[in-house]
Structures are given as C-alpha cells and as structure tokens.
C-alpha cells in the first residue's frame, strides 16, 4: 500500500486529519480505528456545542445523532476485534 495524502475534515472549528492510503489496485483504505474515533469525536463536538448554547442545534436531534454515531463506532470496533481474533462479528 502507498500513502496518497490526507483528507482534512472540519469538525466544529477544528480539523481532524485522516491518512489516505491507496492499495496497488487503487482502493482507498482508511484505518477503522481512525473512522470510529472520528465518529465519536463528531458526536462529542456536537454535544459540546449544544451545552455551550450554540444556536440552531436541536438538543434532542444532536443527542439522537450522537448515540447513533457511537453505535456505529462500536459496531466497527467489534467487527475489527472479531476479525483480528479470527471470529465473526
């Protein structure tokens, strides 16, 4: 695999950079740990904005989205653990 650069994703006044890795077939590869971390970071930043009183954010919607992002991150982590231990998720 060869590194091709990085994707910069704005996350509430801060940026998260994920390495972009392309394999020999041109398939984009991103570490699952980076994806699950990004999902949790997004949810956390949204909650922080709501707690800080940011306008235009519905507290219930942000809470629901944050929960769903955390569930998705958990599923990614469980699948990776299962894969690395030789089991199925």
Residue 48 phi, psi dihedral angles, 5° rounding: -60, -40
How is the chain split into domains, by residue range?
2-84
What pLDDT score was predicted for residue 6? 53
What pLDDT score was predicted for residue 82? 83
Percent of the chain at pLDDT > 70 equals: 71
Q: What is the pLDDT of residues 16-44, one digit of tens each?
A: 555 666 778 877 677 888 889 999 999 99
What pLDDT score was predicted for residue 1? 45
Q: How confident is the model at residue 70 (pLDDT cuts 50, 70, 90)?
A: very high
């Amino acid at each position: 695999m060869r590194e091709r650069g990085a994707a910069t994703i704005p996350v509430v006044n801060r940026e998260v950079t994920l390495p972009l890795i392309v394999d020999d077939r041109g398939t984009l590869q991103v570490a699952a740990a980076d994806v699950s971390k990004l999902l949790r970071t997004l949810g956390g930043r949204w909650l922080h904005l709501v707690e800080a009183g940011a306008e235009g954010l519905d507290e219930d919607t942000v809470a629901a989205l944050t929960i769903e992002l955390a569930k998705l991150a958990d599923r990614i982590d469980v699948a990776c653990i299962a894969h690395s231990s030789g089991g199925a998720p």
